[in-house]
Protein backbone atom coordinates (compact mmCIF):
# COMPACT_ATOMS: atom_id res chain seq x y z
CA UNK A 1 0.00 0.00 0.00
CA UNK A 2 1.25 3.53 -0.70
CA UNK A 3 2.25 5.78 2.18
CA UNK A 4 0.31 8.78 0.83
CA UNK A 5 -2.93 9.20 -1.10
CA UNK A 6 -3.05 12.45 -3.07
CA UNK A 7 -6.61 13.51 -3.92
CA UNK A 8 -7.33 15.91 -6.80
CA UNK A 9 -10.94 16.74 -7.74
CA UNK A 10 -11.12 18.14 -11.28
CA UNK A 11 -13.84 19.78 -13.33
CA UNK A 12 -13.25 21.34 -16.74
CA UNK A 13 -9.58 21.76 -15.85
CA UNK A 14 -8.08 20.94 -19.25
CA UNK A 15 -5.97 24.14 -19.34
CA UNK A 16 -4.37 23.80 -15.90
CA UNK A 17 -4.41 20.10 -14.96
CA UNK A 18 -1.09 19.20 -16.61
CA UNK A 19 0.77 21.75 -14.47
CA UNK A 20 -0.83 20.29 -11.33
CA UNK A 21 -0.11 16.65 -12.20
CA UNK A 22 3.42 17.39 -13.40
CA UNK A 23 4.17 18.94 -10.00
CA UNK A 24 2.94 15.76 -8.30
CA UNK A 25 5.04 13.51 -10.52
CA UNK A 26 8.08 15.74 -9.79
CA UNK A 27 7.93 14.96 -6.05
CA UNK A 28 11.16 13.72 -4.45
CA UNK A 29 8.95 11.49 -2.29
CA UNK A 30 7.62 8.75 -4.57
CA UNK A 31 5.58 6.32 -2.43
CA UNK A 32 2.14 7.69 -3.24
CA UNK A 33 -1.04 7.10 -5.21
CA UNK A 34 -2.91 9.88 -7.02
CA UNK A 35 -6.70 9.82 -7.24
CA UNK A 36 -7.66 12.19 -10.06
CA UNK A 37 -11.42 12.55 -9.68
CA UNK A 38 -13.06 13.80 -12.88
CA UNK A 39 -16.35 15.32 -11.76
CA UNK A 40 -18.22 15.04 -15.06
CA UNK A 41 -16.02 17.44 -17.04
CA UNK A 42 -17.31 18.59 -20.42
CA UNK A 43 -13.98 19.61 -21.99
CA UNK A 44 -10.86 17.54 -22.63
CA UNK A 45 -10.15 16.91 -18.94
CA UNK A 46 -11.23 13.24 -19.02
CA UNK A 47 -8.82 12.38 -21.84
CA UNK A 48 -6.00 14.21 -20.06
CA UNK A 49 -6.67 12.27 -16.85
CA UNK A 50 -6.54 8.98 -18.78
CA UNK A 51 -3.33 10.00 -20.54
CA UNK A 52 -1.56 10.65 -17.24
CA UNK A 53 -2.93 7.42 -15.74
CA UNK A 54 -1.53 5.51 -18.72
CA UNK A 55 1.84 7.21 -18.26
CA UNK A 56 2.26 6.50 -14.52
CA UNK A 57 0.79 3.53 -12.65
CA UNK A 58 0.53 5.59 -9.45
CA UNK A 59 -2.20 7.74 -11.04
CA UNK A 60 -5.77 6.48 -11.01
CA UNK A 61 -8.30 8.37 -13.12
CA UNK A 62 -11.87 8.12 -11.80
CA UNK A 63 -14.71 9.41 -13.96
CA UNK A 64 -18.05 10.20 -12.34
CA UNK A 65 -21.20 12.20 -12.87
CA UNK A 66 -21.05 15.81 -11.79
CA UNK A 67 -21.96 16.10 -8.10
CA UNK A 68 -19.80 18.89 -6.73
CA UNK A 69 -16.39 19.08 -5.09
CA UNK A 70 -17.47 17.82 -1.64
CA UNK A 71 -19.05 14.60 -2.89
CA UNK A 72 -16.12 14.11 -5.28
CA UNK A 73 -13.63 14.36 -2.41
CA UNK A 74 -15.78 12.02 -0.31
CA UNK A 75 -15.75 9.38 -3.03
CA UNK A 76 -11.98 9.72 -3.23
CA UNK A 77 -11.69 9.24 0.54
CA UNK A 78 -13.54 5.94 0.19
CA UNK A 79 -11.07 4.82 -2.49
CA UNK A 80 -7.87 6.00 -0.80
CA UNK A 81 -5.46 3.40 0.61
CA UNK A 82 -2.50 5.48 1.87
CA UNK A 83 -1.50 6.05 5.47
CA UNK A 84 -1.75 9.79 4.91
CA UNK A 85 -4.01 12.08 2.88
CA UNK A 86 -2.92 15.10 0.85
CA UNK A 87 -5.28 17.30 -1.18
CA UNK A 88 -4.74 19.47 -4.26
CA UNK A 89 -7.00 21.57 -6.43
CA UNK A 90 -6.49 21.24 -10.18
CA UNK A 91 -5.81 24.97 -10.60
CA UNK A 92 -2.81 24.81 -8.26
CA UNK A 93 0.50 22.99 -7.90
CA UNK A 94 2.99 21.94 -5.21
CA UNK A 95 6.73 22.35 -4.64
CA UNK A 96 8.92 19.31 -5.50
CA UNK A 97 9.65 18.60 -1.83
CA UNK A 98 6.09 19.16 -0.56
CA UNK A 99 5.06 15.55 0.08
CA UNK A 100 8.48 14.67 1.52
CA UNK A 101 8.31 17.59 3.96
CA UNK A 102 4.79 16.64 5.03
CA UNK A 103 5.62 12.95 5.40
CA UNK A 104 8.85 13.43 7.36
CA UNK A 105 7.21 16.02 9.63
CA UNK A 106 4.35 13.63 10.39
CA UNK A 107 6.55 10.58 10.94
CA UNK A 108 9.35 12.26 12.89
CA UNK A 109 6.99 14.10 15.24
CA UNK A 110 4.22 11.48 15.41
CA UNK A 111 1.89 14.25 14.27
CA UNK A 112 -1.80 13.71 13.64
CA UNK A 113 -1.93 16.79 11.42
CA UNK A 114 0.73 18.82 9.60
CA UNK A 115 -0.05 22.34 8.38
CA UNK A 116 2.23 24.38 6.14
CA UNK A 117 2.67 27.87 4.70
CA UNK A 118 1.79 28.40 1.03
CA UNK A 119 2.37 30.71 -1.91
CA UNK A 120 -0.44 32.95 -3.18
CA UNK A 121 -0.15 33.55 -6.93
CA UNK A 122 -1.79 36.50 -8.68
CA UNK A 123 -1.07 37.57 -12.28
CA UNK A 124 2.49 36.27 -12.34
CA UNK A 125 3.35 37.47 -8.84
CA UNK A 126 3.66 35.42 -5.70
CA UNK A 127 3.90 35.96 -1.95
CA UNK A 128 4.39 33.56 0.93
CA UNK A 129 1.43 33.20 3.30
CA UNK A 130 1.28 31.76 6.79
CA UNK A 131 -0.26 32.49 10.16
CA UNK A 132 1.85 30.80 12.86
CA UNK A 133 5.35 32.23 13.21
CA UNK A 134 7.19 29.37 14.90
CA UNK A 135 7.69 25.83 13.61
CA UNK A 136 7.01 22.94 15.97
CA UNK A 137 4.44 20.77 17.71
CA UNK A 138 1.22 22.19 19.16
CA UNK A 139 -1.51 20.58 21.21
CA UNK A 140 -5.11 20.77 20.00
CA UNK A 141 -5.80 23.54 22.51
CA UNK A 142 -2.73 25.56 21.47
CA UNK A 143 -3.63 25.29 17.81
CA UNK A 144 -7.24 26.27 18.49
CA UNK A 145 -6.01 29.36 20.35
CA UNK A 146 -3.95 30.37 17.30
CA UNK A 147 -6.90 29.78 15.00
CA UNK A 148 -9.23 31.93 17.13
CA UNK A 149 -7.05 34.96 16.38
CA UNK A 150 -7.64 34.72 12.62
CA UNK A 151 -10.30 32.07 11.93
CA UNK A 152 -11.18 33.20 8.39
CA UNK A 153 -7.57 33.02 7.18
CA UNK A 154 -7.21 30.48 4.36
CA UNK A 155 -4.28 29.04 6.32
CA UNK A 156 -6.78 27.45 8.73
CA UNK A 157 -9.80 27.06 6.49
CA UNK A 158 -8.53 25.13 3.46
CA UNK A 159 -7.44 21.49 3.29
CA UNK A 160 -4.71 21.75 0.64
CA UNK A 161 -1.97 23.04 2.98
CA UNK A 162 -2.52 20.17 5.41
CA UNK A 163 -1.51 16.51 5.77
CA UNK A 164 -4.01 14.14 7.42
CA UNK A 165 -3.80 10.65 8.90
CA UNK A 166 -6.24 8.43 7.03
CA UNK A 167 -6.85 6.15 10.02
CA UNK A 168 -8.32 9.11 11.95
CA UNK A 169 -10.50 10.08 8.99
CA UNK A 170 -11.81 6.52 8.61
CA UNK A 171 -12.16 5.70 12.32
CA UNK A 172 -14.44 8.69 12.87
CA UNK A 173 -15.87 8.54 9.32
CA UNK A 174 -15.05 12.17 8.63
CA UNK A 175 -16.39 13.50 5.35
CA UNK A 176 -17.14 16.82 3.61
CA UNK A 177 -20.64 18.18 4.18
CA UNK A 178 -22.19 17.95 0.70
CA UNK A 179 -25.03 20.32 1.61
CA UNK A 180 -22.68 23.24 2.22
CA UNK A 181 -21.31 25.52 -0.50
CA UNK A 182 -19.21 27.63 1.86
CA UNK A 183 -16.63 26.67 4.52
CA UNK A 184 -17.04 22.93 3.95
CA UNK A 185 -13.22 22.59 4.09
CA UNK A 186 -13.10 24.52 7.35
CA UNK A 187 -15.73 22.33 8.98
CA UNK A 188 -13.91 19.18 7.87
CA UNK A 189 -10.72 20.59 9.40
CA UNK A 190 -12.45 21.36 12.70
CA UNK A 191 -14.01 17.89 12.88
CA UNK A 192 -10.60 16.38 12.25
CA UNK A 193 -8.82 18.58 14.82
CA UNK A 194 -11.22 17.37 17.51
CA UNK A 195 -9.48 13.99 17.15
CA UNK A 196 -5.93 15.27 16.58
CA UNK A 197 -3.71 15.50 19.65
CA UNK A 198 -0.41 16.46 18.02
CA UNK A 199 -0.35 19.17 15.33
CA UNK A 200 2.92 20.08 13.64
CA UNK A 201 3.42 23.55 12.18
CA UNK A 202 5.66 23.37 9.10
CA UNK A 203 6.79 26.84 8.07
CA UNK A 204 8.00 25.85 4.61
CA UNK A 205 5.68 26.96 1.79
CA UNK A 206 4.59 23.79 -0.04
CA UNK A 207 1.66 24.88 -2.19
CA UNK A 208 0.99 27.39 -4.99
CA UNK A 209 -2.57 28.68 -4.68
CA UNK A 210 -4.00 30.47 -7.72
CA UNK A 211 -7.69 29.63 -7.68
CA UNK A 212 -10.07 32.49 -6.93
CA UNK A 213 -13.45 31.45 -5.61
CA UNK A 214 -16.57 33.20 -6.83
CA UNK A 215 -18.75 34.88 -4.22
CA UNK A 216 -21.76 33.08 -2.77
CA UNK A 217 -24.02 35.45 -4.69
CA UNK A 218 -22.24 34.48 -7.92
CA UNK A 219 -22.88 30.83 -7.00
CA UNK A 220 -26.61 31.51 -7.11
CA UNK A 221 -27.42 31.87 -3.40
CA UNK A 222 -29.71 34.66 -2.23
CA UNK A 223 -28.93 36.84 0.79
CA UNK A 224 -31.24 35.03 3.30
CA UNK A 225 -29.66 31.69 2.39
CA UNK A 226 -26.16 33.14 2.71
CA UNK A 227 -26.95 34.52 6.18
CA UNK A 228 -28.49 31.20 7.23
CA UNK A 229 -25.45 29.28 5.98
CA UNK A 230 -23.02 31.57 7.78
CA UNK A 231 -25.01 31.25 11.01
CA UNK A 232 -24.87 27.45 10.73
CA UNK A 233 -21.10 27.60 10.29
CA UNK A 234 -20.81 29.99 13.25
CA UNK A 235 -22.81 27.57 15.40
CA UNK A 236 -20.47 24.76 14.44
CA UNK A 237 -17.45 26.99 15.08
CA UNK A 238 -18.78 27.92 18.52
CA UNK A 239 -19.50 24.26 19.38
CA UNK A 240 -15.98 23.32 18.28
CA UNK A 241 -14.47 25.65 20.86
CA UNK A 242 -16.84 24.46 23.56
CA UNK A 243 -15.49 20.94 22.98
CA UNK A 244 -11.84 22.02 22.87
CA UNK A 245 -11.75 24.52 25.75
CA UNK A 246 -12.83 24.41 29.37
CA UNK A 247 -15.68 26.76 30.34
CA UNK A 248 -13.18 29.29 31.68
CA UNK A 249 -11.01 29.15 28.54
CA UNK A 250 -14.07 29.42 26.32
CA UNK A 251 -15.24 32.52 28.15
CA UNK A 252 -11.85 34.17 27.70
CA UNK A 253 -11.93 33.47 23.93
CA UNK A 254 -15.61 34.37 23.43
CA UNK A 255 -14.98 37.77 21.73
CA UNK A 256 -12.57 36.16 19.25
CA UNK A 257 -14.95 33.28 18.59
CA UNK A 258 -17.92 35.52 17.84
CA UNK A 259 -15.68 37.75 15.75
CA UNK A 260 -15.74 34.95 13.18
CA UNK A 261 -19.25 36.04 12.16
CA UNK A 262 -17.96 39.48 11.13
CA UNK A 263 -14.84 38.16 9.42
CA UNK A 264 -14.65 36.78 5.90
CA UNK A 265 -12.57 34.17 4.13
CA UNK A 266 -9.28 35.70 3.07
CA UNK A 267 -5.73 34.81 2.15
CA UNK A 268 -4.42 38.39 1.79
CA UNK A 269 -3.68 39.54 -1.73
CA UNK A 270 -0.39 39.72 -3.56
CA UNK A 271 0.55 43.31 -4.36
CA UNK A 272 3.27 43.61 -7.03
CA UNK A 273 6.51 45.42 -6.10
CA UNK A 274 5.74 45.52 -2.37
CA UNK A 275 8.09 43.76 0.11
CA UNK A 276 7.24 40.06 0.29
CA UNK A 277 5.88 39.91 -3.26
CA UNK A 278 8.06 38.43 -6.00
CA UNK A 279 7.60 37.57 -9.63
CA UNK A 280 6.60 33.94 -10.00
CA UNK A 281 9.79 31.91 -10.29
CA UNK A 282 11.95 34.34 -8.33
CA UNK A 283 10.90 32.78 -5.02
CA UNK A 284 13.21 29.80 -5.61
CA UNK A 285 16.61 28.99 -7.07
CA UNK A 286 16.42 28.36 -10.81
CA UNK A 287 18.66 26.94 -13.54
CA UNK A 288 17.91 26.59 -17.24
CA UNK A 289 21.31 26.22 -18.93
CA UNK A 290 21.84 23.11 -21.01
CA UNK A 291 25.52 22.15 -20.52
CA UNK A 292 27.54 21.70 -23.71
CA UNK A 293 29.53 18.92 -22.02
CA UNK A 294 29.21 16.85 -18.86
CA UNK A 295 32.17 18.16 -16.91
CA UNK A 296 32.99 18.84 -13.27
CA UNK A 297 32.20 22.56 -13.50
CA UNK A 298 28.67 22.10 -14.83
CA UNK A 299 28.05 19.37 -12.25
CA UNK A 300 29.16 21.76 -9.52
CA UNK A 301 26.87 24.47 -10.93
CA UNK A 302 23.76 22.31 -10.81
CA UNK A 303 24.58 20.83 -7.41
CA UNK A 304 25.08 24.33 -6.02
CA UNK A 305 21.77 25.54 -7.49
CA UNK A 306 19.92 22.48 -6.22
CA UNK A 307 21.25 22.90 -2.69
CA UNK A 308 20.41 26.59 -2.78
CA UNK A 309 16.79 25.64 -3.46
CA UNK A 310 16.74 23.30 -0.47
CA UNK A 311 18.51 25.93 1.61
CA UNK A 312 15.77 28.41 0.72
CA UNK A 313 13.20 25.98 2.13
CA UNK A 314 15.19 25.55 5.33
CA UNK A 315 15.57 29.31 5.60
CA UNK A 316 11.80 29.76 5.33
CA UNK A 317 11.24 27.25 8.12
CA UNK A 318 13.78 28.64 10.58
CA UNK A 319 14.12 32.31 9.57
CA UNK A 320 17.73 31.93 8.49
CA UNK A 321 19.71 33.51 5.67
CA UNK A 322 21.71 31.55 3.09
CA UNK A 323 25.07 32.11 4.82
CA UNK A 324 23.64 31.05 8.20
CA UNK A 325 22.29 27.84 6.67
CA UNK A 326 25.66 27.21 5.00
CA UNK A 327 27.36 27.45 8.40
CA UNK A 328 24.87 24.99 9.92
CA UNK A 329 25.37 22.60 6.99
CA UNK A 330 29.14 22.77 7.59
CA UNK A 331 28.78 21.93 11.28
CA UNK A 332 26.10 19.28 10.68
CA UNK A 333 28.38 17.38 8.30
CA UNK A 334 31.89 18.03 9.69
CA UNK A 335 30.84 18.46 13.37
CA UNK A 336 33.73 20.86 14.04
CA UNK A 337 35.81 23.61 12.45
CA UNK A 338 39.40 22.52 11.83
CA UNK A 339 40.47 25.92 10.49
CA UNK A 340 38.71 29.29 10.72
CA UNK A 341 40.46 30.32 7.51
CA UNK A 342 38.91 27.36 5.68
CA UNK A 343 35.49 28.03 7.28
CA UNK A 344 35.61 31.70 6.24
CA UNK A 345 36.60 30.83 2.68
CA UNK A 346 33.75 28.30 2.52
CA UNK A 347 31.34 31.09 3.49
CA UNK A 348 32.99 33.49 1.02
CA UNK A 349 33.67 35.75 3.97
CA UNK A 350 36.50 37.22 6.01
CA UNK A 351 37.47 35.52 9.27
CA UNK A 352 36.00 38.49 11.15
CA UNK A 353 32.74 38.02 9.26
CA UNK A 354 32.75 34.27 9.95
CA UNK A 355 33.33 34.91 13.67
CA UNK A 356 30.44 37.40 13.71
CA UNK A 357 28.18 34.87 12.00
CA UNK A 358 28.96 32.22 14.62
CA UNK A 359 28.23 34.75 17.37
CA UNK A 360 24.90 35.57 15.72
CA UNK A 361 23.98 31.86 15.51
CA UNK A 362 24.99 31.55 19.17
CA UNK A 363 22.60 34.40 20.06
CA UNK A 364 19.85 32.50 18.23
CA UNK A 365 20.73 29.44 20.31
CA UNK A 366 21.83 27.21 17.42
CA UNK A 367 25.57 27.24 18.15
CA UNK A 368 27.71 27.06 21.29
CA UNK A 369 31.32 28.30 21.40
CA UNK A 370 33.97 28.61 24.08
CA UNK A 371 34.95 32.18 24.96
CA UNK A 372 37.42 33.56 22.44
CA UNK A 373 37.57 30.28 20.48
CA UNK A 374 35.18 30.47 17.51
CA UNK A 375 36.67 27.29 16.03
CA UNK A 376 35.16 25.42 19.03
CA UNK A 377 31.65 26.04 17.63
CA UNK A 378 29.25 23.08 17.83
CA UNK A 379 25.53 22.77 17.23
CA UNK A 380 23.32 22.93 20.33
CA UNK A 381 20.30 20.84 21.31
CA UNK A 382 18.07 23.64 20.03
CA UNK A 383 19.64 23.12 16.60
CA UNK A 384 18.61 19.45 16.52
CA UNK A 385 15.48 20.10 14.43
CA UNK A 386 17.48 22.39 12.17
CA UNK A 387 20.14 19.70 11.75
CA UNK A 388 17.42 17.16 10.89
CA UNK A 389 16.08 19.53 8.25
CA UNK A 390 19.58 19.92 6.76
CA UNK A 391 20.18 16.16 6.63
CA UNK A 392 16.70 15.58 5.20
CA UNK A 393 17.37 18.17 2.49
CA UNK A 394 20.60 16.37 1.63
CA UNK A 395 18.69 13.09 1.40
CA UNK A 396 16.06 14.62 -0.89
CA UNK A 397 18.79 16.15 -3.05
CA UNK A 398 20.38 12.72 -3.39
CA UNK A 399 17.06 11.31 -4.61
CA UNK A 400 16.85 14.04 -7.21
CA UNK A 401 20.43 13.63 -8.39
CA UNK A 402 20.21 9.84 -8.71
CA UNK A 403 16.67 9.56 -10.01
CA UNK A 404 16.45 6.75 -12.58
CA UNK A 405 19.68 5.06 -11.51
CA UNK A 406 19.62 1.26 -11.27
CA UNK A 407 20.28 -0.48 -7.96
CA UNK A 408 23.66 -1.62 -9.23
CA UNK A 409 24.59 1.94 -10.21
CA UNK A 410 23.49 3.21 -6.81
CA UNK A 411 25.68 0.68 -4.99
CA UNK A 412 28.71 2.04 -6.81
CA UNK A 413 28.06 5.67 -5.87
CA UNK A 414 29.32 5.82 -2.22
CA UNK A 415 32.72 4.27 -3.04
CA UNK A 416 33.09 6.37 -6.18
CA UNK A 417 32.16 9.54 -4.31
CA UNK A 418 34.65 8.86 -1.50
CA UNK A 419 37.44 8.34 -4.00
CA UNK A 420 36.53 11.57 -5.78
CA UNK A 421 36.51 13.49 -2.47
CA UNK A 422 39.86 12.00 -1.45
CA UNK A 423 41.37 13.16 -4.74
CA UNK A 424 39.95 16.66 -4.34
CA UNK A 425 41.07 16.97 -0.73
CA UNK A 426 44.58 15.75 -1.59
CA UNK A 427 44.84 18.41 -4.31
CA UNK A 428 43.51 21.16 -2.01
CA UNK A 429 45.99 20.24 0.76
CA UNK A 430 49.00 20.78 -1.53
Q: Is 172 helix (H, G, I), strand (E, B) or coil?
A: coil
Tell me the mean pLDDT in the region 305-334. Answer: 91
Q: Lowest-pLDDT range, 201-215, 338-352, 407-421?
A: 201-215
Measured in degrees and rounded to the nearest 5, phi and psi for residue 58 equal -75, -15
The pLDDT of residue 194 is 96
Encode pLDDT of 354-375 as tens digits: 999 999 999 999 999 988 888 8
- Predicted confidence at residue 211, as pLDDT, reads 65
Indicate the domain borders of the chain: 4-259, 284-403
Q: What is the spatial distance between Cα 240 and Cα 221, in angstroms, rounded to a whole number?
A: 26
* Averaged pLDDT for residues 268-272: 64
- Report the distance separating Cα 161 and Cα 415, nearest Å: 40
Q: State the DSSP code for 151.
A: T
For 4-259, the fitting CATH number among 3.40.50.2000, 3.90.550.10, 1.10.10.10, 1.10.8.10 is 3.90.550.10
Please tell me the predicted confidence (pLDDT) of residue 115: 98
Query: In this model, does residue 153 exceed pLDDT 60?
Result: yes
Chain mean pLDDT for the chain = 88
Q: Higher confidence at residue 397 or residue 46?
A: 46
User: Tens of pLDDT along 166-219?
Assistant: 999 999 999 998 877 677 898 999 999 999 999 999 999 999 998 665 443 445
Determine the pLDDT at residue 150.
82
Of 229, 206, 144, 154, nearest in space to 185 by CA: 154
Helix (H) or strand (E) run with residue 61 in it: strand 59-64
Res 217: pLDDT: 41
Q: Which of 81, 232, 106 is CA-nearest to residue 162? A: 106
**Neighbour count for residue 170 (Cβ, 10 Å):** 13
pLDDT category, 225, cuts 50, 70, 90? low
Are domains 4-259 and 284-403 of this chain identical in fold?
no
DSSP 181: S
Helix (H, G, I), strand (E, B) or coil at 208: strand
CATH of 284-403, one of 3.40.50.300, 1.10.10.10, 2.60.40.650, 2.160.10.10: 1.10.10.10
Q: Which residues contact 148 (CB under 8 A, 6 or more apart)?
A: 241, 253, 256, 257
Contact 226, 143 (CB under 8 A): no
Amino acid sequence: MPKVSIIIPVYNAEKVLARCLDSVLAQTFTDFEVLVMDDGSKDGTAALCDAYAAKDARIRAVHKENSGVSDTRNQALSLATGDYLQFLDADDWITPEATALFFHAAETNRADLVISDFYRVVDGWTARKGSIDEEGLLTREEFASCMAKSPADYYYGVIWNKFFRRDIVEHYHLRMDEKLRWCEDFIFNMEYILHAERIFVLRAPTYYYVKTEGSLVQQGLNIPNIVRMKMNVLNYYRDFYKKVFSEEEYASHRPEIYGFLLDYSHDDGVIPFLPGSKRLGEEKAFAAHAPLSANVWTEHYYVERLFRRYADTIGARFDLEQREIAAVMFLANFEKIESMREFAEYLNSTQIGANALLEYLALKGYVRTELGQPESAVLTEKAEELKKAVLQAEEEAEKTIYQGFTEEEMQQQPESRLRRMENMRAQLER
